[in-house]
Amino acid sequence: MKSRRSKDFIRFVLVVAIVILVNIIGSLKFFRLDLTAESRYSLSDATKNLLESFDEILYVKIYLEGDFPAGFQRLQRESKQMLDEFRAYNPRIEYEFINPNEGEDVEINDDIKEQLQFKGLKPYQLQINDKGGTSTTDVFPGAIMSYGDKEIPVLLLLDQMGVSPESQINSSIQTLEFTLANAIRGLVVQARPTVGFLQGHDELEPRFVADFARTLYENYDVDKFDIRKYKSDSTGEELSILGQQRRINRFDALIVAKPKKPFSDLDKYLIDQYVMNGGKVIWLVDAVHAEMDSLTKRAQFLAYPIIDQLRISDMLFKYGARINTNIVQDAIAGGVSDRKSINKWVYFPLIMPQVKHPITKDLNAIQLNFASTVDTIMAKGIKKTILLKTSPYSTFSPSPHMVNLGKLYNEPPQSYFNKQNLPVGVLLEGNFESAFKNRIAPKENTGEEIKIKEKGDFTQMLVIGDGDIIRNQLSVVDPNIPKGTPLPLGYDQYTGQQYGNRDLLLNAVDYMLDDSGLISIRSRELKLRLLNPQKIKTEKGFWKLLNTIVPVLLIVIMGVVLTFLRKRKYA
């Protein structure tokens, strides 16, 4: 009996010692265990590094508090779990969930909602079913993050056209880590890449790219670069070509937004050598001149090719892409309002991202205007990824082509759309060969010939056959917004639809310039194991019975077996 007590005491002491030792080791080395199959609760290394990079309080206000349907409750729960994961790596993250509909004073609630919309959060109207009937309430599935004197909105619910609300919430949950971490990056990162809007060829005016420039400014420094203007030094002499190269090379990425005037050989040389030195370029080019404004004066107009006038086809061909002089038409298209009704306009194809890529994953439909197809060309060592394709019900017309309003009211038959998955946007990655290889190089003012870099460093470029993909509308409809105010990119004020143009281009810039690796999180797939609603209806009684009786039977069986064993042992 005595020896038994001593053994029990020794065991107790060992268990306590092991617990103390584990706690000591845990206090010295931080770690977390994730036993889920897809590492659901494991943050990426990029996120962990980001969370460890700041030492001030980062405050998050999440407007997802209230009586919600199951889907929004799941988004609320996942958001809280993700923020708790973030806090495990940096306790300086503080958050609270707020219900903007909580107060009894309707005017105060309306003021709060107006402020949230002004800050950039988008409201959704939900129908709540209760005993008294059905009521409608505004929900703001988003957050406001603040760090120091900076503050940014975070949209937690993705916009996806043609997708069920349940799938939309599932996609939002899958990208939750990227959404929150990317917002934190915009607040805390000090050294920011620089993105430039190329000018000098009658590109889109600043007011038409204002919304995207403002969005970029959350994570990047943004500036204009007129490739035709050469700054003068203190002596009044123009800077050399090498000096202009130094100016263009300060940009980490260039956006060429719908040029209309020709590129000179010197312009092309500067851009080419910029690419050879690792510069990224996003080409948004109209190969055909076609503008909706032309239909305000007459019922039809002639769309004609202009890509040859721009003189950039040879460069793009060398890099591995060709923008064709045709006009894409698609049965899956955006609408045009004639003030009486909204009609589908086949020249405004809606691109539903089909490629699993960090740039296009879980994006809303992207609207193009009079777009052209983009072919890939053989270019040694260049990886080509077609990111944007038309629907299975599409076609194209070579230019010159007569655009007639008749197609707005009389949609062509399905047999007209005899082509499918036409490429309209391609990503090129690799070490490009110079378009000026084996050509005469330009000379400096002194007459000295400049050396051409014929093989480039690794870089990327995106080529899209539509210049208007980046163009935001200016307010003319809403009386509450001053006329001429730039509207959010992708928002069509005439139909009230929000498209994914801004997210696409922002993802492209992030993919090219984000060295932290956060963009790779967008490719992550989390399996959300949802119940089958049809099975719930047909097999509800069986599963209720199973979950009620089986636990009781197991306890009874265990009791009988234990009683039998005890009798057998001590009888």
For residue range 504-527, list pLDDT tens digits in order. Answer: 999 999 999 987 777 777 666 555
Asked if residue 449 has pLDDT above 80, the reply is no
Cα angle for residues 306, 411, 330 (degrees, 5° grid)? 50
- Determine the pLDDT at residue 235: 46
342 and 223 within one domain:
yes
Cβ contacts of 239-246, under 8 Å, gap ≥ 24: 240/444, 240/445, 240/446, 241/266, 241/269, 241/270, 241/442, 241/444, 241/450, 242/444, 242/450, 244/270, 245/270, 245/273, 245/274
Q: How far apart are CA 198 and CA 228, in angstroms?
A: 10
Are residues 342 and 485 located together in one domain of the fold?
yes
Confirm if 382 and 426 have CB atoms less than 8 A apart. Answer: no
Task: Answer whether residue 241 is part of any domain.
Answer: yes
531 domain residue, yes or no: no
* Confidence check: pLDDT of 546 > 90: no
Q: Which of 173-187, 199-213, 358-372, 374-388 has the lowest mean pLDDT?
A: 173-187
Record the tokens describing residue 138, joined without a space: 């505004």
Question: 125-178 pLDDT, tens per residue?
Answer: 776 666 556 667 778 888 899 998 888 888 888 776 666 677 777 878 888 888
Predicted confidence band of residue 118 (pLDDT cuts 50, 70, 90): confident
Nearest to 63 by CA among 93, 101, 92: 101
Torsion angles phi and psi, residue 386, rounded to 5: -80, 110
Q: List Cβ neighbours of 457 (8 Å cut-off, separation of 6 or more).
A: 276, 277, 278, 431
Distance in angstroms (rounded) separating the CA atoms of residues 564 and 559: 9
Q: Are residues 235 and 374 in the same domain?
A: yes
Query: What's the rounded mean pLDDT across residues 18-26?
Result: 75
User: What's the distance, CA 106 to chain centroid?
Assistant: 35
- Looking at the fold, whether 340 and 375 belong to one and the same domain comes out as yes
Residue 24 lies in a domain: no
Burial class (CB in 10 A: 0-12, 13-18, 19+), 40: middle
Dump pLDDT digits (tens) for 198-207.
999 999 999 9
Determine the 3-state secondary structure of 552 from DSSP: helix
Same domain as 130, residue 68: yes
d(CA 46, CA 58): 18
Q: What percent of the chain has pLDDT over 90?
A: 39
Q: pLDDT-based confidence at 9, cuts 50/70/90? A: confident
Same domain for 325 and 221, yes or no, is yes
If one counts the domains in the chain, the total is: 2
CB-count exposure of residue 68 (10 Å: 0-12, 13-18, 19+): middle
Same structural domain, 298 and 239: yes
Kindly state whether residue 104 falls inside one of the protein's structural domains: yes
Q: Which residues contact 488 (CB under 8 A, 6 or more apart)?
A: 211, 472, 498, 502
135 and 247 in a single domain? The answer is: no
How big is the CA angle at 530 (ends 528 and 533), to the nearest 5 degrees? 160
What is the identity of the amino acid at 415? Answer: S
Is the pLDDT at 233 greater than 70, yes or no? no
C-alpha–C-alpha distance, residues 503 and 495, integer Å: 19
**Last residue in a domain, options 158, 184, 210:** 184
Residue entry with tokens 């204009």: 224
* Distance from C-alpha of 499 to C-alpha of 472, rounded to nearest angstrom: 11
Tell me, yes or no, whether 342 lies in a domain.
yes
Burial of 309 (C-beta count, 10 Å sphere; 0-12/13-18/19+) = middle
Contact 347, 390 (CB under 8 A): no
DSSP letter at 445? T
Segment 461-473, tens digit of pLDDT:
999 999 999 999 9
Residue 282: which residues within 8 A CB-CB, separation 6 or more? 253, 254, 255, 256, 461, 462, 464, 505, 508, 509
Domain span holding position 503: 191-523
The position carrying tokens 């077609």 is 386
pTM of the model: 0.79
**CA–CA distance, 141 with 164 (Å, rounded to integer):** 17
How confident is the model over 39-44, as a mean pLDDT?
A: 68
Same domain, residue pair 208 and 154: no
Phi, psi of 569 (to 5 degrees): -80, -40
Is residue 395 within 8 A of residue 333, CB to CB? The reply is no
Whether 540 is covered by a domain: the verdict is: no
Here the tokens at position 190 are 């000090």
In a domain, 552, yes or no: no
Q: What's 148's DSSP letter?
A: T
- Which of 157, 184, 211 terminates a domain? The answer is 184
CATH number of the domain within which 41 lies? 3.40.30.10
Residue 298 lies in a domain: yes
Among the candidates 481, 508, 523, a domain finishes at 523
Q: Note whether 451 and 490 are same-domain residues.
A: yes
Shared domain check, 263 and 207: yes
Regarding whether 64 and 127 lie in a shared domain, the answer is yes
C-alpha to C-alpha distance for 83 and 89, rounded to whole angstroms: 10
pLDDT at 501: 94
Measured between alpha carbons, how far is 524 from 52 in angstroms, rounded to an integer?
A: 22
Pick the more confident residue, 70 or 483: 483
